[in-house]
Amino acid sequence: MTYLYELLKQLISSLLLSVDNVVQNFGISIIIATIIVRIILLPLTLKQDKSMKAMKKIQPELEILKEKYGNDKQLLNQKTMELYQKHKVNPAGGCLPLLVQLPILFALFGVLRGGIIPEDSKFLWLELTKPDPFYIFPLLNGAISFFQQKLMGNSDNPQMKNMMYMFPIMMIFISYKMPGGLQLYWLTSSLTAVLQQYFIMKKGD
């Protein structure tokens, strides 16, 4: 795992430096490199969306099974698996693409933390090696996270409702002390994910 992590860091570092050699601005380089990574991961995003739609489609049947066999966990699990097989649904299909993305995202965080950005690098008012002094980027990250949860969530699900409000607050709390480069990456990645999700939903199946 350590070897894979270091390999991913080298690849992402090379991508970031290659882009910066062209645009000569590390802030813009982070934006472009992040978009490239999101485009590379688009097939996984599509696979995740397809799996989520399939799970949503069979949700009424799952509720019927819970009502019918709720007192017998073993039989409920058996009937649930039979339902998955009947509709050719993989319940882990929505999670696996995310798990594949995590090493890439952690590696990108590691690259940006690792001193690759010069101390005097700026993007707008933001110093890329220091936290945002005005907390604008953390607040934007929280707002985009809220919009993303609202776009993807189910308003009829109480857990999704709670997550819709809790997750953005967590994003603000986690990111407000991050270096500006990481905040810029996070915001770009979230915006790109929202745009991808919008067009996926607009296009449908």
Q: Give the confidence band of 92 by pLDDT, cuts at 50, 70, 90.
A: low
pLDDT tier for residue 161 given thresholds of 50, 70 and 90: low
Three-state helix/strand/coil letters over 129-182: CCCCCCCHHHHHHHHHHHHHHHHHCCCCCHHHHHHHHHHHHHHHHHHCCCCHHH
Note the pLDDT of residue 126.
83
Element (H, E) at 122: strand 122-123
- Taking only the tens place, the pLDDT of each residue in 100-115 is 667 877 787 787 777 7
167 vs 110: which has the higher pLDDT: 110
Q: What is the pLDDT of residue 155?
A: 46
Which two three-digit tokens encode residue 89? 């649904």
Q: What is the pLDDT of residues 4-37, one digit of tens each?
A: 788 888 888 898 889 989 988 888 998 998 899 8
Q: What are the residue boundaries of the structural domains of the chain, listed by start?
A: 1-203
Q: Is 63 helix (H, G, I), strand (E, B) or coil?
A: helix
Q: Which pLDDT belongs to residue 192? A: 87
**CA 14-15-17 angle, 5° bins:** 65
